[in-house]
Structure 1
Amino acid sequence: MNTHTFKIIACTGFALFAFAGNSVLCRLALGDGAIDAASFTAIRLFSGIIMLGVILLATKNNQTPPAKGSWSAAFMLFLYAITFSFAYISLDTGTGALILFGAVQLTMIIASLLSGTKLHVTEWLGTLIAFSGFVYLVQPSLSTPSFTGFVLMTIAGIAWGVYTLKGRGTKSPLADTSYNFLRTLPFILLLMLPIIYSSHLSREGIFLAVLSGAIASGIGYAVWYIALKGLSVIQAAVVQLTVPIIAALGGVIFANEIISLQLVLSSLMVLGGILIVLIGRYYVNGLAANKTS
Protein backbone atom coordinates (compact mmCIF):
# COMPACT_ATOMS: atom_id res chain seq x y z
CA MET A 1 0.00 0.00 0.00
CA ASN A 2 1.53 3.32 -1.07
CA THR A 3 1.41 6.54 0.94
CA HIS A 4 -1.35 8.12 -1.16
CA THR A 5 -3.66 5.10 -0.79
CA PHE A 6 -3.07 4.98 2.97
CA LYS A 7 -3.86 8.71 3.21
CA ILE A 8 -7.15 8.28 1.35
CA ILE A 9 -8.16 5.31 3.51
CA ALA A 10 -7.25 7.12 6.74
CA CYS A 11 -9.07 10.32 5.74
CA THR A 12 -12.14 8.39 4.62
CA GLY A 13 -12.26 6.49 7.91
CA PHE A 14 -11.86 9.65 9.99
CA ALA A 15 -14.56 11.47 8.02
CA LEU A 16 -17.05 8.62 8.37
CA PHE A 17 -16.51 8.47 12.14
CA ALA A 18 -16.97 12.26 12.25
CA PHE A 19 -20.26 11.95 10.36
CA ALA A 20 -21.46 9.29 12.79
CA GLY A 21 -20.39 11.44 15.74
CA ASN A 22 -22.30 14.33 14.24
CA SER A 23 -25.48 12.25 14.12
CA VAL A 24 -25.06 11.19 17.74
CA LEU A 25 -24.45 14.77 18.90
CA CYS A 26 -27.46 16.07 16.97
CA ARG A 27 -29.73 13.36 18.37
CA LEU A 28 -28.55 14.04 21.92
CA ALA A 29 -29.13 17.78 21.59
CA LEU A 30 -32.46 17.80 19.78
CA GLY A 31 -33.87 14.57 21.19
CA ASP A 32 -33.46 15.75 24.77
CA GLY A 33 -34.74 19.24 23.99
CA ALA A 34 -31.47 20.83 25.10
CA ILE A 35 -31.63 23.35 22.24
CA ASP A 36 -33.93 24.33 19.40
CA ALA A 37 -33.15 23.23 15.83
CA ALA A 38 -32.38 26.69 14.44
CA SER A 39 -29.99 27.57 17.26
CA PHE A 40 -28.27 24.18 17.00
CA THR A 41 -27.72 24.75 13.28
CA ALA A 42 -26.44 28.31 13.76
CA ILE A 43 -24.02 27.40 16.56
CA ARG A 44 -22.89 24.29 14.68
CA LEU A 45 -21.98 26.23 11.53
CA PHE A 46 -20.49 29.20 13.41
CA SER A 47 -18.29 26.86 15.47
CA GLY A 48 -17.12 25.29 12.22
CA ILE A 49 -16.23 28.75 10.88
CA ILE A 50 -14.11 29.54 13.95
CA MET A 51 -12.34 26.17 14.07
CA LEU A 52 -11.53 26.08 10.36
CA GLY A 53 -10.45 29.74 10.37
CA VAL A 54 -7.94 29.09 13.14
CA ILE A 55 -6.56 25.98 11.40
CA LEU A 56 -6.35 27.76 8.03
CA LEU A 57 -4.46 30.71 9.49
CA ALA A 58 -2.08 28.39 11.35
CA THR A 59 -1.28 26.38 8.22
CA LYS A 60 -1.41 29.15 5.61
CA ASN A 61 1.13 28.85 2.81
CA ASN A 62 1.92 32.28 1.38
CA GLN A 63 3.45 30.78 -1.75
CA THR A 64 0.20 29.15 -2.87
CA PRO A 65 -2.98 31.26 -3.02
CA PRO A 66 -5.70 29.34 -1.16
CA ALA A 67 -8.91 28.25 -2.82
CA LYS A 68 -12.00 30.25 -1.99
CA GLY A 69 -14.76 27.64 -2.07
CA SER A 70 -18.01 28.69 -3.74
CA TRP A 71 -21.35 30.23 -2.86
CA SER A 72 -23.18 27.28 -4.37
CA ALA A 73 -21.30 24.81 -2.15
CA ALA A 74 -21.87 27.05 0.88
CA PHE A 75 -25.60 27.18 0.19
CA MET A 76 -25.74 23.40 -0.12
CA LEU A 77 -23.88 23.08 3.18
CA PHE A 78 -26.33 25.41 4.92
CA LEU A 79 -29.33 23.78 3.27
CA TYR A 80 -28.18 20.35 4.46
CA ALA A 81 -27.54 21.55 8.02
CA ILE A 82 -30.83 23.39 8.50
CA THR A 83 -33.11 20.80 6.91
CA PHE A 84 -31.32 17.99 8.78
CA SER A 85 -31.98 19.66 12.13
CA PHE A 86 -35.63 20.54 11.50
CA ALA A 87 -36.42 17.14 9.95
CA TYR A 88 -35.56 15.39 13.20
CA ILE A 89 -38.30 17.28 14.99
CA SER A 90 -40.93 15.13 13.28
CA LEU A 91 -38.95 12.00 12.30
CA ASP A 92 -37.66 9.17 14.44
CA THR A 93 -33.97 8.34 14.13
CA GLY A 94 -34.30 5.22 11.97
CA THR A 95 -36.68 6.76 9.48
CA GLY A 96 -34.63 9.94 9.22
CA ALA A 97 -31.38 8.06 8.65
CA LEU A 98 -32.91 5.90 5.93
CA ILE A 99 -34.31 8.91 4.07
CA LEU A 100 -31.08 10.91 4.42
CA PHE A 101 -28.57 8.30 3.30
CA GLY A 102 -30.90 6.92 0.67
CA ALA A 103 -31.21 10.41 -0.81
CA VAL A 104 -27.43 10.95 -0.66
CA GLN A 105 -26.68 7.68 -2.42
CA LEU A 106 -29.33 8.12 -5.11
CA THR A 107 -28.26 11.72 -5.76
CA MET A 108 -24.63 10.75 -6.32
CA ILE A 109 -25.42 7.66 -8.40
CA ILE A 110 -27.81 9.62 -10.63
CA ALA A 111 -25.23 12.38 -11.02
CA SER A 112 -22.62 9.80 -11.97
CA LEU A 113 -24.92 8.25 -14.57
CA LEU A 114 -25.84 11.66 -16.02
CA SER A 115 -22.14 12.47 -16.39
CA GLY A 116 -21.74 9.43 -18.62
CA THR A 117 -20.30 6.95 -16.12
CA LYS A 118 -21.40 3.36 -16.69
CA LEU A 119 -21.62 1.21 -13.59
CA HIS A 120 -20.04 -2.21 -13.67
CA VAL A 121 -22.33 -5.08 -12.69
CA THR A 122 -20.27 -5.54 -9.51
CA GLU A 123 -20.92 -1.89 -8.55
CA TRP A 124 -24.67 -2.38 -9.03
CA LEU A 125 -24.54 -5.58 -6.99
CA GLY A 126 -22.46 -4.07 -4.20
CA THR A 127 -24.65 -0.99 -3.99
CA LEU A 128 -27.79 -3.11 -3.79
CA ILE A 129 -26.35 -5.35 -1.06
CA ALA A 130 -25.06 -2.41 0.99
CA PHE A 131 -28.32 -0.48 0.76
CA SER A 132 -30.32 -3.63 1.59
CA GLY A 133 -28.21 -4.09 4.71
CA PHE A 134 -28.91 -0.53 5.76
CA VAL A 135 -32.65 -0.97 5.22
CA TYR A 136 -32.53 -4.21 7.25
CA LEU A 137 -30.83 -2.36 10.10
CA VAL A 138 -33.46 0.38 10.45
CA GLN A 139 -36.55 -1.47 9.20
CA PRO A 140 -37.91 -2.56 12.60
CA SER A 141 -37.87 1.04 13.84
CA LEU A 142 -39.50 2.51 10.75
CA SER A 143 -42.77 4.35 11.10
CA THR A 144 -44.85 6.27 8.62
CA PRO A 145 -42.98 9.58 8.40
CA SER A 146 -44.67 12.95 8.44
CA PHE A 147 -44.79 14.52 5.00
CA THR A 148 -42.90 17.61 6.21
CA GLY A 149 -40.16 15.54 7.85
CA PHE A 150 -39.82 13.35 4.78
CA VAL A 151 -39.45 16.34 2.46
CA LEU A 152 -36.95 18.11 4.74
CA MET A 153 -34.71 15.05 5.17
CA THR A 154 -34.84 14.29 1.46
CA ILE A 155 -33.68 17.84 0.74
CA ALA A 156 -30.91 17.38 3.33
CA GLY A 157 -29.72 14.22 1.58
CA ILE A 158 -29.78 15.82 -1.87
CA ALA A 159 -27.93 18.88 -0.56
CA TRP A 160 -25.21 16.77 1.08
CA GLY A 161 -24.85 14.67 -2.06
CA VAL A 162 -24.38 17.81 -4.19
CA TYR A 163 -21.95 19.30 -1.63
CA THR A 164 -19.89 16.11 -1.79
CA LEU A 165 -19.85 16.18 -5.59
CA LYS A 166 -18.67 19.79 -5.58
CA GLY A 167 -15.71 18.84 -3.40
CA ARG A 168 -14.32 16.09 -5.62
CA GLY A 169 -12.22 18.45 -7.74
CA THR A 170 -10.79 20.57 -4.95
CA LYS A 171 -7.03 21.17 -4.86
CA SER A 172 -7.14 22.75 -1.41
CA PRO A 173 -9.65 20.87 0.78
CA LEU A 174 -9.00 22.85 3.97
CA ALA A 175 -9.28 26.24 2.28
CA ASP A 176 -12.35 25.30 0.27
CA THR A 177 -14.12 23.91 3.33
CA SER A 178 -13.16 26.95 5.42
CA TYR A 179 -14.52 29.42 2.88
CA ASN A 180 -17.63 27.33 2.32
CA PHE A 181 -18.35 27.51 6.06
CA LEU A 182 -17.53 31.23 6.15
CA ARG A 183 -19.99 31.89 3.33
CA THR A 184 -22.80 30.37 5.41
CA LEU A 185 -22.58 33.36 7.79
CA PRO A 186 -25.19 35.49 5.95
CA PHE A 187 -27.55 32.49 5.94
CA ILE A 188 -26.97 32.02 9.68
CA LEU A 189 -27.87 35.66 10.36
CA LEU A 190 -31.04 35.40 8.28
CA LEU A 191 -31.95 32.24 10.17
CA MET A 192 -31.48 33.69 13.64
CA LEU A 193 -32.96 37.18 13.23
CA PRO A 194 -36.62 36.05 13.40
CA ILE A 195 -36.10 33.85 16.47
CA ILE A 196 -33.46 35.78 18.40
CA TYR A 197 -35.82 36.31 21.34
CA SER A 198 -37.57 32.95 21.22
CA SER A 199 -34.63 30.56 20.91
CA HIS A 200 -34.21 27.80 23.48
CA LEU A 201 -30.65 27.35 24.76
CA SER A 202 -28.98 25.36 27.50
CA ARG A 203 -25.34 24.75 28.39
CA GLU A 204 -25.60 21.14 27.28
CA GLY A 205 -27.23 22.09 23.99
CA ILE A 206 -24.61 24.74 23.23
CA PHE A 207 -21.79 22.35 24.13
CA LEU A 208 -23.14 19.62 21.86
CA ALA A 209 -23.65 22.09 19.00
CA VAL A 210 -20.07 23.38 19.36
CA LEU A 211 -18.67 19.83 19.30
CA SER A 212 -20.79 19.05 16.27
CA GLY A 213 -19.67 22.16 14.43
CA ALA A 214 -16.01 22.44 15.34
CA ILE A 215 -14.97 18.77 15.30
CA ALA A 216 -17.53 16.54 13.56
CA SER A 217 -18.49 19.11 10.92
CA GLY A 218 -15.59 21.53 10.47
CA ILE A 219 -12.63 19.18 10.67
CA GLY A 220 -14.65 16.18 9.48
CA TYR A 221 -15.80 17.87 6.28
CA ALA A 222 -12.33 19.20 5.46
CA VAL A 223 -10.91 15.68 5.83
CA TRP A 224 -13.78 14.33 3.69
CA TYR A 225 -12.79 16.69 0.87
CA ILE A 226 -9.27 15.25 1.07
CA ALA A 227 -10.66 11.71 0.90
CA LEU A 228 -12.75 12.57 -2.16
CA LYS A 229 -9.57 13.01 -4.19
CA GLY A 230 -9.10 9.24 -4.18
CA LEU A 231 -12.72 8.07 -4.39
CA SER A 232 -14.99 7.70 -7.39
CA VAL A 233 -18.50 9.14 -7.18
CA ILE A 234 -19.96 5.68 -6.61
CA GLN A 235 -17.36 4.77 -3.98
CA ALA A 236 -17.98 8.04 -2.15
CA ALA A 237 -21.74 7.40 -2.22
CA VAL A 238 -21.58 3.84 -0.96
CA VAL A 239 -18.97 4.21 1.79
CA GLN A 240 -21.21 6.77 3.49
CA LEU A 241 -23.64 3.95 4.21
CA THR A 242 -21.21 2.85 6.92
CA VAL A 243 -22.17 5.91 8.98
CA PRO A 244 -25.39 4.39 10.41
CA ILE A 245 -23.46 1.22 11.28
CA ILE A 246 -20.77 3.21 13.09
CA ALA A 247 -23.43 5.25 14.88
CA ALA A 248 -25.23 2.06 15.96
CA LEU A 249 -21.99 0.63 17.34
CA GLY A 250 -21.42 3.93 19.12
CA GLY A 251 -24.79 3.44 20.78
CA VAL A 252 -23.65 0.02 21.99
CA ILE A 253 -20.43 1.43 23.41
CA PHE A 254 -21.63 4.73 24.88
CA ALA A 255 -25.30 4.06 25.62
CA ASN A 256 -25.05 0.44 26.82
CA GLU A 257 -27.24 -0.82 23.99
CA ILE A 258 -27.28 -4.56 23.27
CA ILE A 259 -25.45 -6.01 20.25
CA SER A 260 -28.14 -7.87 18.34
CA LEU A 261 -27.94 -10.48 15.62
CA GLN A 262 -29.71 -7.97 13.38
CA LEU A 263 -26.89 -5.45 13.91
CA VAL A 264 -24.24 -8.05 13.11
CA LEU A 265 -26.00 -9.27 9.94
CA SER A 266 -26.74 -5.78 8.65
CA SER A 267 -23.14 -4.73 9.30
CA LEU A 268 -21.88 -7.69 7.30
CA MET A 269 -24.23 -6.82 4.43
CA VAL A 270 -23.25 -3.16 4.35
CA LEU A 271 -19.52 -3.74 4.68
CA GLY A 272 -19.62 -6.66 2.24
CA GLY A 273 -21.49 -4.57 -0.31
CA ILE A 274 -18.98 -1.77 0.06
CA LEU A 275 -16.11 -4.20 -0.42
CA ILE A 276 -17.70 -5.41 -3.66
CA VAL A 277 -18.06 -1.84 -4.91
CA LEU A 278 -14.50 -0.89 -3.99
CA ILE A 279 -12.64 -3.89 -5.39
CA GLY A 280 -15.12 -5.70 -7.66
CA ARG A 281 -14.47 -3.67 -10.81
CA TYR A 282 -10.70 -3.96 -10.47
CA TYR A 283 -10.89 -7.70 -9.82
CA VAL A 284 -13.13 -8.35 -12.84
CA ASN A 285 -11.00 -6.11 -15.05
CA GLY A 286 -7.93 -7.99 -13.88
CA LEU A 287 -9.46 -11.32 -14.86
CA ALA A 288 -10.42 -9.94 -18.25
CA ALA A 289 -6.89 -8.65 -18.78
CA ASN A 290 -5.41 -12.03 -17.89
CA LYS A 291 -7.71 -13.80 -20.37
CA THR A 292 -6.68 -11.49 -23.22
CA SER A 293 -2.97 -11.63 -22.43
Structure 2
Amino acid sequence: MRLFLLTCLTMTAFAANSLLNRLAVESGGSDPSSFAVLRVFAGAVTLAMLVRMRGGRLPLWSSRRMIGAGALSLYMVGFSTAYLTLDAGLGALILFGVVQITMFGVTSATGSLPAARQLAGAGIAFGGLVYILWPAGTVQVDPVGAVLMALAGVGWAAYTLAGRAEADALAGTGANFVVALPVTGAAILILGGSWGMTPIGAGLAILSGAVTSGLGYALWYSVLPQLTASVAATVQLSVPVIAIIGGVLLLGETVGLRLMLGTVLVLGGIALAVSRRHPG
Protein backbone atom coordinates (compact mmCIF):
# COMPACT_ATOMS: atom_id res chain seq x y z
CA MET A 1 0.00 0.00 0.00
CA ARG A 2 2.86 2.40 0.81
CA LEU A 3 4.39 1.89 -2.64
CA PHE A 4 0.99 2.46 -4.27
CA LEU A 5 0.44 5.72 -2.36
CA LEU A 6 3.94 7.03 -3.08
CA THR A 7 3.55 6.22 -6.78
CA CYS A 8 0.17 8.02 -6.86
CA LEU A 9 1.73 11.03 -5.13
CA THR A 10 4.55 11.07 -7.69
CA MET A 11 2.17 10.94 -10.65
CA THR A 12 0.15 13.76 -9.08
CA ALA A 13 3.32 15.85 -8.79
CA PHE A 14 4.08 15.22 -12.46
CA ALA A 15 0.55 16.27 -13.41
CA ALA A 16 0.86 19.40 -11.26
CA ASN A 17 3.87 20.38 -13.37
CA SER A 18 1.64 20.44 -16.44
CA LEU A 19 -0.95 22.58 -14.65
CA LEU A 20 1.65 25.05 -13.38
CA ASN A 21 3.25 25.27 -16.81
CA ARG A 22 -0.12 25.90 -18.47
CA LEU A 23 -1.09 28.50 -15.89
CA ALA A 24 2.16 30.40 -16.46
CA VAL A 25 2.39 30.16 -20.25
CA GLU A 26 -1.28 30.47 -21.24
CA SER A 27 -1.82 33.45 -18.94
CA GLY A 28 1.13 35.27 -20.48
CA GLY A 29 3.07 35.09 -17.22
CA SER A 30 6.02 33.35 -18.83
CA ASP A 31 7.28 32.04 -22.12
CA PRO A 32 8.15 28.31 -22.25
CA SER A 33 11.91 28.83 -22.37
CA SER A 34 12.11 31.07 -19.32
CA PHE A 35 9.80 28.75 -17.41
CA ALA A 36 11.98 25.73 -18.18
CA VAL A 37 15.25 27.37 -17.13
CA LEU A 38 13.88 28.84 -13.87
CA ARG A 39 12.19 25.50 -13.17
CA VAL A 40 15.52 23.65 -13.37
CA PHE A 41 17.29 26.39 -11.38
CA ALA A 42 14.72 26.25 -8.55
CA GLY A 43 14.93 22.48 -8.42
CA ALA A 44 18.73 22.55 -8.31
CA VAL A 45 18.83 25.12 -5.48
CA THR A 46 16.15 23.39 -3.40
CA LEU A 47 17.64 19.92 -3.67
CA ALA A 48 21.20 21.14 -3.08
CA MET A 49 20.07 22.89 0.11
CA LEU A 50 18.22 19.81 1.37
CA VAL A 51 21.21 17.56 0.72
CA ARG A 52 23.48 20.06 2.45
CA MET A 53 21.14 20.35 5.47
CA ARG A 54 21.34 16.62 6.09
CA GLY A 55 25.13 16.70 5.86
CA GLY A 56 25.43 15.06 2.47
CA ARG A 57 27.16 16.00 -0.77
CA LEU A 58 25.99 16.13 -4.36
CA PRO A 59 27.67 13.38 -6.44
CA LEU A 60 28.34 15.72 -9.36
CA TRP A 61 31.18 13.66 -10.77
CA SER A 62 29.48 10.28 -10.56
CA SER A 63 29.47 8.18 -13.70
CA ARG A 64 25.66 8.15 -13.47
CA ARG A 65 25.58 11.91 -14.06
CA MET A 66 26.35 11.52 -17.75
CA ILE A 67 23.08 9.63 -18.18
CA GLY A 68 20.91 11.24 -15.50
CA ALA A 69 21.73 14.90 -16.11
CA GLY A 70 22.06 14.44 -19.86
CA ALA A 71 18.68 12.73 -20.08
CA LEU A 72 17.07 15.40 -17.88
CA SER A 73 18.47 18.16 -20.11
CA LEU A 74 17.24 16.39 -23.24
CA TYR A 75 13.77 16.09 -21.75
CA MET A 76 13.59 19.71 -20.55
CA VAL A 77 14.84 21.21 -23.81
CA GLY A 78 12.75 19.00 -26.07
CA PHE A 79 9.60 19.42 -23.99
CA SER A 80 9.84 23.22 -23.72
CA THR A 81 10.68 23.96 -27.34
CA ALA A 82 8.32 21.39 -28.88
CA TYR A 83 5.25 23.00 -27.32
CA LEU A 84 5.98 26.20 -29.22
CA THR A 85 4.56 24.51 -32.33
CA LEU A 86 2.63 21.44 -31.11
CA ASP A 87 -0.91 21.09 -29.84
CA ALA A 88 -0.84 20.20 -26.13
CA GLY A 89 -2.76 16.94 -26.55
CA LEU A 90 -0.78 15.72 -29.54
CA GLY A 91 2.47 16.64 -27.79
CA ALA A 92 1.50 14.54 -24.78
CA LEU A 93 0.69 11.58 -27.03
CA ILE A 94 4.06 11.78 -28.78
CA LEU A 95 5.89 12.16 -25.46
CA PHE A 96 4.25 9.26 -23.65
CA GLY A 97 4.17 7.06 -26.74
CA VAL A 98 7.93 7.42 -27.15
CA VAL A 99 8.48 6.87 -23.40
CA GLN A 100 6.49 3.63 -23.63
CA ILE A 101 8.28 2.37 -26.74
CA THR A 102 11.74 3.30 -25.41
CA MET A 103 11.30 1.73 -21.97
CA PHE A 104 9.68 -1.44 -23.25
CA GLY A 105 12.32 -1.69 -25.99
CA VAL A 106 15.26 -1.27 -23.62
CA THR A 107 13.91 -3.75 -21.07
CA SER A 108 13.20 -6.30 -23.81
CA ALA A 109 16.69 -5.87 -25.26
CA THR A 110 18.25 -6.44 -21.85
CA GLY A 111 16.35 -9.67 -21.32
CA SER A 112 13.58 -8.41 -19.03
CA LEU A 113 10.67 -9.24 -21.30
CA PRO A 114 7.35 -7.73 -20.15
CA ALA A 115 4.58 -10.20 -19.42
CA ALA A 116 1.68 -10.44 -21.87
CA ARG A 117 -0.57 -8.94 -19.19
CA GLN A 118 1.70 -5.91 -18.89
CA LEU A 119 1.81 -5.40 -22.65
CA ALA A 120 -1.97 -5.69 -22.91
CA GLY A 121 -2.47 -3.27 -20.03
CA ALA A 122 -0.06 -0.75 -21.52
CA GLY A 123 -1.82 -1.01 -24.88
CA ILE A 124 -5.27 -0.45 -23.36
CA ALA A 125 -4.06 2.49 -21.25
CA PHE A 126 -2.35 4.16 -24.19
CA GLY A 127 -5.43 3.57 -26.33
CA GLY A 128 -7.49 5.39 -23.71
CA LEU A 129 -4.99 8.25 -23.73
CA VAL A 130 -5.23 8.52 -27.52
CA TYR A 131 -9.03 8.60 -27.25
CA ILE A 132 -8.87 11.48 -24.75
CA LEU A 133 -6.13 13.59 -26.30
CA TRP A 134 -6.42 13.10 -30.07
CA PRO A 135 -7.08 16.56 -31.56
CA ALA A 136 -10.47 17.17 -33.15
CA GLY A 137 -10.67 18.06 -36.84
CA THR A 138 -7.69 18.18 -39.17
CA VAL A 139 -4.46 17.22 -37.46
CA GLN A 140 -1.45 19.31 -38.46
CA VAL A 141 1.86 18.13 -37.08
CA ASP A 142 4.90 20.36 -37.17
CA PRO A 143 7.77 17.96 -37.99
CA VAL A 144 10.37 19.88 -35.98
CA GLY A 145 8.09 20.01 -32.95
CA ALA A 146 7.33 16.30 -33.29
CA VAL A 147 11.04 15.42 -33.42
CA LEU A 148 11.78 17.59 -30.40
CA MET A 149 8.97 15.98 -28.41
CA ALA A 150 10.15 12.51 -29.45
CA LEU A 151 13.63 13.40 -28.18
CA ALA A 152 12.03 14.58 -24.93
CA GLY A 153 10.35 11.18 -24.65
CA VAL A 154 13.66 9.39 -25.15
CA GLY A 155 15.23 11.68 -22.55
CA TRP A 156 12.54 11.02 -19.95
CA ALA A 157 12.65 7.26 -20.57
CA ALA A 158 16.43 7.28 -20.10
CA TYR A 159 16.08 9.43 -16.97
CA THR A 160 13.57 6.98 -15.52
CA LEU A 161 15.68 3.92 -16.33
CA ALA A 162 18.77 5.60 -14.85
CA GLY A 163 16.91 6.22 -11.61
CA ARG A 164 16.54 2.52 -10.93
CA ALA A 165 20.26 2.36 -10.11
CA GLU A 166 20.52 5.61 -8.11
CA ALA A 167 21.74 4.81 -4.61
CA ASP A 168 20.64 8.11 -2.99
CA ALA A 169 17.45 9.45 -4.59
CA LEU A 170 17.65 12.98 -3.16
CA ALA A 171 21.36 13.55 -3.77
CA GLY A 172 21.23 11.94 -7.21
CA THR A 173 18.28 14.03 -8.30
CA GLY A 174 19.92 17.18 -6.94
CA ALA A 175 23.13 16.46 -8.84
CA ASN A 176 21.14 15.84 -12.02
CA PHE A 177 19.43 19.23 -11.71
CA VAL A 178 22.67 21.10 -10.97
CA VAL A 179 24.52 19.59 -13.94
CA ALA A 180 21.48 19.92 -16.22
CA LEU A 181 21.00 23.64 -15.51
CA PRO A 182 23.75 25.13 -17.73
CA VAL A 183 23.13 22.53 -20.43
CA THR A 184 19.39 23.28 -20.52
CA GLY A 185 19.90 27.06 -20.58
CA ALA A 186 22.54 26.95 -23.31
CA ALA A 187 20.55 24.53 -25.48
CA ILE A 188 17.35 26.60 -25.30
CA LEU A 189 19.34 29.75 -26.09
CA ILE A 190 20.92 28.07 -29.14
CA LEU A 191 17.50 26.87 -30.32
CA GLY A 192 16.21 30.43 -30.25
CA GLY A 193 13.99 30.35 -27.20
CA SER A 194 12.54 33.69 -26.11
CA TRP A 195 12.94 35.11 -22.60
CA GLY A 196 10.26 36.91 -20.64
CA MET A 197 8.48 36.44 -17.32
CA THR A 198 6.20 38.28 -14.89
CA PRO A 199 6.47 37.91 -11.08
CA ILE A 200 3.50 35.52 -11.11
CA GLY A 201 5.05 33.45 -13.87
CA ALA A 202 8.31 33.33 -11.93
CA GLY A 203 6.50 32.18 -8.80
CA LEU A 204 4.79 29.37 -10.70
CA ALA A 205 8.10 28.28 -12.24
CA ILE A 206 9.81 28.25 -8.83
CA LEU A 207 6.94 26.23 -7.34
CA SER A 208 7.17 23.77 -10.22
CA GLY A 209 10.94 23.49 -9.98
CA ALA A 210 11.32 23.32 -6.22
CA VAL A 211 8.35 21.14 -5.30
CA THR A 212 6.61 19.26 -8.10
CA SER A 213 9.78 18.77 -10.17
CA GLY A 214 12.67 18.67 -7.70
CA LEU A 215 11.00 16.85 -4.83
CA GLY A 216 8.67 14.99 -7.19
CA TYR A 217 11.58 13.61 -9.23
CA ALA A 218 13.46 12.67 -6.05
CA LEU A 219 10.37 10.76 -4.88
CA TRP A 220 10.18 9.07 -8.29
CA TYR A 221 13.80 7.97 -7.98
CA SER A 222 13.05 6.56 -4.52
CA VAL A 223 10.17 4.35 -5.73
CA LEU A 224 11.69 3.26 -9.05
CA PRO A 225 13.85 0.45 -7.62
CA GLN A 226 10.64 -1.17 -6.35
CA LEU A 227 8.92 -1.08 -9.77
CA THR A 228 9.65 -3.09 -12.87
CA ALA A 229 10.54 -0.94 -15.86
CA SER A 230 7.36 -1.96 -17.71
CA VAL A 231 5.17 -1.00 -14.75
CA ALA A 232 7.05 2.30 -14.35
CA ALA A 233 6.40 3.05 -18.02
CA THR A 234 2.71 2.20 -17.83
CA VAL A 235 1.76 4.07 -14.65
CA GLN A 236 3.05 7.31 -16.20
CA LEU A 237 0.17 7.19 -18.68
CA SER A 238 -1.99 8.37 -15.79
CA VAL A 239 -0.22 11.76 -15.70
CA PRO A 240 -2.13 13.47 -18.56
CA VAL A 241 -5.41 12.14 -17.16
CA ILE A 242 -4.65 13.50 -13.68
CA ALA A 243 -3.65 16.82 -15.27
CA ILE A 244 -6.93 17.01 -17.20
CA ILE A 245 -8.96 16.18 -14.08
CA GLY A 246 -6.96 18.81 -12.21
CA GLY A 247 -7.84 21.32 -14.91
CA VAL A 248 -11.51 20.48 -14.44
CA LEU A 249 -11.36 20.87 -10.66
CA LEU A 250 -8.98 23.83 -10.39
CA LEU A 251 -9.26 25.72 -13.67
CA GLY A 252 -12.95 25.29 -14.39
CA GLU A 253 -12.43 23.26 -17.56
CA THR A 254 -15.30 21.12 -18.82
CA VAL A 255 -15.62 17.35 -18.51
CA GLY A 256 -17.37 15.22 -21.10
CA LEU A 257 -18.20 11.63 -21.95
CA ARG A 258 -14.98 11.29 -23.95
CA LEU A 259 -12.86 12.14 -20.91
CA MET A 260 -14.79 9.79 -18.65
CA LEU A 261 -14.61 6.82 -21.04
CA GLY A 262 -10.95 7.44 -21.81
CA THR A 263 -10.11 7.70 -18.12
CA VAL A 264 -11.76 4.31 -17.49
CA LEU A 265 -9.60 2.78 -20.25
CA VAL A 266 -6.39 4.36 -18.94
CA LEU A 267 -6.95 3.35 -15.33
CA GLY A 268 -8.20 -0.10 -16.32
CA GLY A 269 -5.13 -0.70 -18.48
CA ILE A 270 -2.81 0.43 -15.69
CA ALA A 271 -4.61 -1.83 -13.21
CA LEU A 272 -4.15 -4.78 -15.58
CA ALA A 273 -0.47 -4.01 -16.10
CA VAL A 274 0.39 -3.67 -12.42
CA SER A 275 -1.75 -6.54 -11.14
CA ARG A 276 -0.03 -9.72 -10.03
CA ARG A 277 -1.32 -13.14 -10.83
CA HIS A 278 -1.76 -15.19 -7.68
CA PRO A 279 -1.33 -18.95 -7.85
CA GLY A 280 -4.65 -20.81 -7.67
The alignment's TM-score, normalised by the length of structure 2, stands at 0.91
Quote the residue 2:79 is aligned against: 84
Contact 2:224 2:232 in 1 (8 A): yes
Equivalent residue in structure 2 for 1:262, among 252, 258, 263 = 258
1:12 alignment partner, one of 7, 10, 29:
7
Shift of the alpha carbon at 1:204? 2.1
2:26 to 31, 37, 43: 31
Partner of 1:161: 157
- Residue 100 of structure 1, CA deviation: 0.8
Return closer, same or farther for 1:194/1:244 CA change in 2, 3 Å cut-off: closer
Structure 1 residues without counterparts, runs of 5 or longer: none
Unmatched segments (≥5 aa) in structure 2: none
Normalised to the residue count of structure 1, the TM-score between the two structures is: 0.87
Q: 1:106: which partner in 2? A: 101
2: CA distance, partners of 1:66 / 1:187: 17
Which amino acid is the alignment partner of residue 50 of structure 1?
V
Equivalent pair of 1:77/1:163 in contact (CA under 8 Å): yes
2:218 aligned partner, one-letter code: A
Residue identity opposite 2:154 in structure 1: I
Say if 1:136 and 1:146 are closer, same or farther in 2 by CA, change over 3 A. same
Equivalent-residue separation in structure 2 for 1:180 and 1:87 (angstroms): 22
- Confirm or deny: 8 A CA contact 2:14 2:239 kept in the other structure: yes
Structure with max Cα Rg: 1
Cα deviation, residue 232, structure 1:
0.3
Match in the other structure for 2:113: 118
Q: How many residues end up aligned between the 2 structures?
A: 277
The 3 A distance-change label for structure 1 pair 49 and 203 is same
Rounded Cα–Cα distance in structure 2 between residues aligned with 1:265 and 1:272: 11
Contact 2:81–2:188 under 8 Å retained in 1: no
CA distance in 1, matches of 2:151, 2:25: 19
Q: What one-letter code is carried by the residue in structure 1 that aligns with 2:4?
A: I
- Residue 131, structure 1, aligned to residue 131, structure 2: no
Matched residue type, 2:70: F
Amino acid at match of 1:239: V
The letter of the residue matching 1:9 is F
1:39 and 1:192 in contact (8 A); partners too: no
- Contact preservation (8 Å) 1:21, 1:247: yes
* Contact 1:79 1:156 (C-alpha < 8 Å) held by counterparts: yes
Matches within 5 A, 1:32-51: 32-51=27-46
